[in-house]
Chains A and B, each alone.
Chain A
Amino acid sequence: MTAAPTLPAAPAGRPDHPHRPPRQLRWLLRLHRPAVLVWTAFVLVTGAALLWLGGPLTDASAAAWKEYNACAFAERCSYDQDAIVRYKDVYSYTTIALLAAPFLVAAWAGGSLTGRETESGTARLAWTQGVTPARWLAARLALPAVLVAVSTGLLVHLHRLAWTAGEGRIDTAKPWYDFATFYANGTVPVALALAGLCAGALEGLLLRRSLAALTTATVVLGGLWATVHTALPHLWPTVTRVSSLRNGPSGTGITTGEGVLTADGDRLTAPCSSGMIPGCRTELADLGAVNFYRDVHPVAHYWPLQLTASGVLLAVAALLVLAAFRVLRLRTAGPAGKGGPA
């Protein structure tokens, strides 16, 4: 049974044999069965926790907040404090799990998917069994990519549903621009997971050592995310909110800058933040300030920012895939490869 994928493949010779691609995939699934099981368990547990969070936990917490707000400063007051705390705990645990998922993918891809096989030499063995290196790598990227994209997409969707259920009902619910919530509600984790997969596959081929590739892939993904996080506010033009000197700067969202505007339209750093305070008023007058301004991304920019960041990450992932195929071709072109196409 175990020899079945290789035996009929050998005489077939040409890679476009109809039986091989599905067999490659089945083989891949079999080889990584523990990882598939662990990942399935992870997705099921996190998904179930998110459903629990969006349903009963949100309702209980919202009811507790209602009771709490109803008692105002009344002498006798009882509300379900545990429900509020439980919602917060499960929310932060599920959000952390969701944001950690791309790192799990990167570590697995580096350590197990390509790194282990290039280290132990089973990759070379596979390439002698009628599977071309390119096809071998393509199978190793395509099937995990589909599984990872679908499962992280599902988790992100459930997270968004759970977060939306609590919007406006739970006083301490995270705002949309909260760093962790911003990412966990959108498409960025899916793109990060795919980039992690590609980074891991490339590192495994480059380093040909399982543990080194695991570590490097995780660090590379961390660096990639940090870069995207730093660049994120500049991926879409901001909106400038202008407010009167009396009120101080206004506008909530992802802020990129604020200060005062002069009559000529110059932007200056604000020395203080409210014209209601006498000292501040004179100082603003000395500067010739007429308004406060704040550059923000309002909630309407959520999807443009998410999709641009995801697009950038997917482009990086595509480059990593190209690099992986290139490395593979250079590696396998050694003894006999170059003569082929010429």
Chain B
Amino acid sequence: MSTTAPARLPRTVLRLHRTALIVWSAFVAGLIGWLVWLNEITVDAVRAAEAECSRALWGCVDIIEHLDYSGPTGYIGTLTCYGFLAVAAFTGGALIGRELESGTARLAWTQGVTPARWLAAKLIVPALVLTAGCAALVLAFRRGWAANRDLMGDHWAFADVFVARGPATVAYALCALAVGTLTALLLRRALPALAVSVATMGLLNVVLERCRARLWPAETRTAPKPFELPDDAWRLEWGRTGTGHYATYHPASHFWPLHLVETGIVLAVAALATAAAFAVLRRRTA
């Protein structure tokens, strides 16, 4: 029994949560498919409209068709970024909270599966699935977002675009998994755990979003005359001093340092929450 249980455990987790697995796969595949559609089909229609209006003498200023491309691309970024809220809800509610509430977790622990191993399987399998899905989403979004910059009106510093273009998406999903697990172990009831983990992750995201610009030293430029920053700079503060003009900003090259520092913080929270979850579990089952 004890030799087969560890091997069966991941399969049990997958089978028990197959609905969630199907929904997640559909979400990832749907968003990637939508991106491909936008960049293969929609973009041609937009370019055709552009060509149509540039044939005329007066040229094009703003074409309404751009919105058909930029709007959905923006939605995909938003969904990619905030998908971790659904992960928190699933983990707090269905993955851990439900089993603790109904007592099936206790039943599993009597069947040759130690509580720590049970929790490890419950965390590793979803973590792998989430990492794979998020990585695919991020890679697809990075390509889609960069493919037709002239059609887009957004900026790399937008809250959702910032997260969706790198490993922070994966980090937030893993953190939601860990935080959901911890709250579920603490509350041992599915619905409260669901609500608290979503609220906690939302709060963490809002706090980090507000501190984001300070995660890497910004650059300051001063000049006696008014000046323009490049379009891809993230302008933080600007105005006049006694002697001239100043602006503090993050150039586009700061994206990776900023992004990786935030990823590190989120992963650290995830690690702490995981450690705390195992500690709580050990104390509960001791």
Contacts and interface: CB of A to CB of B under 8 A. Distances in A.
A214 B239 contact: no
A78 B239 contact: yes
Interface string A201-223: 00000000011101000000000
Contact of A280 (B56, B191, B195): B56
A283 interface: yes
Contact of B239 (A75, A81, A211): A81
A112 interface: yes
A258 to B, nearest CB: 10
Contact of B191 (A111, A279, A283): A111
B206 to A, nearest CB: 9
Interface in A71-122: 75-78, 81, 111-112, 116
Nearest to B199: A38
Contacts of A214: 93, 191, 194
Given A78-B239, A112-B191, A211 B56 contact: no
B218 to A, nearest CB: 16
A335 interface: no
Contacts of A279: 56-58
A283 B56 CA distance: 9
A278 interface: yes
A68 to B, nearest CB: 11
Given A34-B192, A112-B191, A211-B93, A272 B58 contact: yes
A271 B195 CA distance: 52
By secondary structure, the B interface counts as helix
Nearest to B86: A215
Contacts of B53: 272
A34 to B, nearest CB: 7
A277 interface: yes
Interface in B241-277: none
B240 A211 contact: no
Contacts, number: 40
B98 A211 contact: yes
Contacts of B94: 211
Q: Which of A111, A112, A211 has the most CB of B within 10 A?
A: A211
Given A210-B190, A211-B93, A280 B58 contact: yes
Contacts of B56: 271-272, 279-280, 283
A271 B49 CA distance: 11
B240 A78 contact: yes
Interface string B29-58: 000000000000000000000000100111
B47 to A, nearest CB: 18
A120 to B, nearest CB: 9
Contacts of B58: 272, 277-280
Nearest to B98: A211
Q: Which of A78, A210, A212 has the most CB of B within 10 A?
A: A210
Nearest to B60: A272
B243 to A, nearest CB: 11
Nearest to B55: A279
Contacts of A75: 240
A75 B93 CA distance: 58
Contacts of A111: 93, 191, 194
Contact of B240 (A38, A76, A280): A76
B102 to A, nearest CB: 9
Interface of A: 34, 38, 75-78, 81, 111-112, 116, 210-212, 214, 271-272, 277-280, 283
7 contacts: A38-B195, A81-B237, A111-B191, A277-B57, A277-B58, A279-B56, A280-B58
Given A38-B195, A210-B190, 13 more contacts: A75-B240, A77-B240, A78-B239, A78-B240, A81-B239, A111-B93, A112-B191, A211-B93, A214-B93, A214-B191, A214-B194, A279-B57, A283-B56
